[in-house]
Amino acid sequence: MGKSGSHLETKLIHAGDPETPIEGAVSMPVFQSSTFLYSGAGSYHDLRYIRLNNTPNHLALHRKLAALENAEAALVTASGMAAISVVFLALLSPGDHFLVQGCLYGGTHSFITKDLAALGISFDFFDGDHPGSWERLLRPETRMIYAETMTNPLLGVADLKAVASFAKNHGLVSVIDNTFASPVNFRPPEWGFDLSVHSCTKYLNGHSDIVAGAVIGRAELVEEITHTMNHLGGSLDPHACFLLDRGLKTLAVRMGYQNESALKIARFLEAHPKIEKVNYPGLASHPAHERARALFDGFSGMLSFELAGDVKVADRFLENVQIPFVAPSLGGVESLITRPATTSHSGLTPEERKALGISDTLIRFSVGLEATDDLIEDFKQALRV
Ligand SMILES: *Cc1c(COP(=O)(O)O)cnc(C)c1O
């Protein structure tokens, strides 16, 4: 079994570390060296250099990240968007076509609709709830299907099992953005996905102090993607690798707490007369609750809700809350709250937002590690005034 054990909690602490601690250090040292002695590498990609993603800090993280999702390989990147964009750029060529889920992370949405479109790579949106409608979107040049574990900010859960098997049946590469669930709650390779991508900026690092990303999955795909990334230059600095590894060690403890806290807060909000609607896959009222229960080990720390009233009511609520920071991003130790119409989805037109179901009074909440009762008391007072 070895030091990494067979459970995720143990892997988070030990997987990937050198078998013999370096100089006896129980914590992986930072190798802050851009280049390393030439040792007979036959290929450009095997030279040791920070941009080539292969310093000891990168390699230790790659092993850990792969172990967490029971995958073959992993690549750590300079940001979540670096991971997402390199997957598309490495695996798709001009003339190719792919399928993407309807409600995507804003950065991914604009990358696909603007940058990839400019390269002659086309796509169609698929409806995650209706696998029967996907086949007619296929073309001879369709190469990939791309989904998100939970959509932002409505926390929709697509039929992910169907996505992976649809890809297998039609020879497509299946890719999923697993940022919102984290490997604690969902491990895409176990469901047949070829690749998962993460913004490690969020839960994996968990402390809102670095930006990082990862691609995890099948070894031959990760190698191809790594070679493209070596050219694009989006490697993670060794010190950020060290911080990400340190953050990962507490992921299971943090995520377990956030899963529980978010469920309690979602239940409180659902029962509150000034709240119109709560979106949280852990609630029995969520349209995909049964599906989420089958897929996930926990429902994560993200939820969103609509306040009764207009934009003024929503803005007043944001002014009144005292504990959460009003700030974009998510998955940190501190609770963060936003109004997506003015943050993550401000790049969309009001019509596009309406079509996606993102109302102007929708509030998105990332539950931190504060006491659940303090957060509930804070919401109570903010809703009272
Ligand atoms: C934040 C986020 C990204 C982008 O990650 P960065 O680290 O900010 O580049 C991608 N997908 C999801 C779901 C995210 O929440």
The per-residue pLDDT for range 93-149, each reduced to its tens digit, is: 999 999 999 889 989 999 999 999 999 999 999 999 999 999 999 999 999 999 999
Q: 196 forms bridges with which residues in the sheet?
A: 176, 216
Q: 173 forms bridges with which residues in the sheet?
A: 144
**Of these residues, 51, 218, 264, 316, which one is catalytic?**
51
**Of these residues, 11, 64, 202, 339, which one is catalytic?**
202
Two structure tokens written together for 105: 């992370």
Atom 14, ligand 1: residue with shortest CA distance: 199
The low-confidence residues of the chain, meaning pLDDT below 50, are: none
Is 105 known to be catalytic?
yes
Atom of ligand 1 nearest to the CA of 329: 1
**Of these residues, 17, 96, 177, 194, which one is catalytic?**
177
Is 129 known to be catalytic?
no
Is 202 known to be catalytic?
yes
Atom of ligand 1 nearest to the CA of 180: 13
The residues lining ligand 1, judged by C-beta closer than 6 Å to any ligand atom, are 79-81, 84, 105, 107, 148, 152, 177, 179-180, 199, 201-202, 211, 213
Per DSSP, the residues of 84-138 read HHHHHHHH--TT-EEEEESS--HHHHHIIIIIIHHTT-EEEEE-TT-GGGTGGG-
- Relative orientation angle of helices 80-91 and 219-232, to the nearest 10 degrees: 110
Question: In this predicted structure, what is the pLDDT of residue 1?
Answer: 66
Does this model's pTM top 0.85? My answer is: yes
Is 44 known to be catalytic?
no
Structural domains of the chain, ranges and CATH numbers in brackets: 8-248 (3.40.640.10), 252-384 (3.90.1150.10)
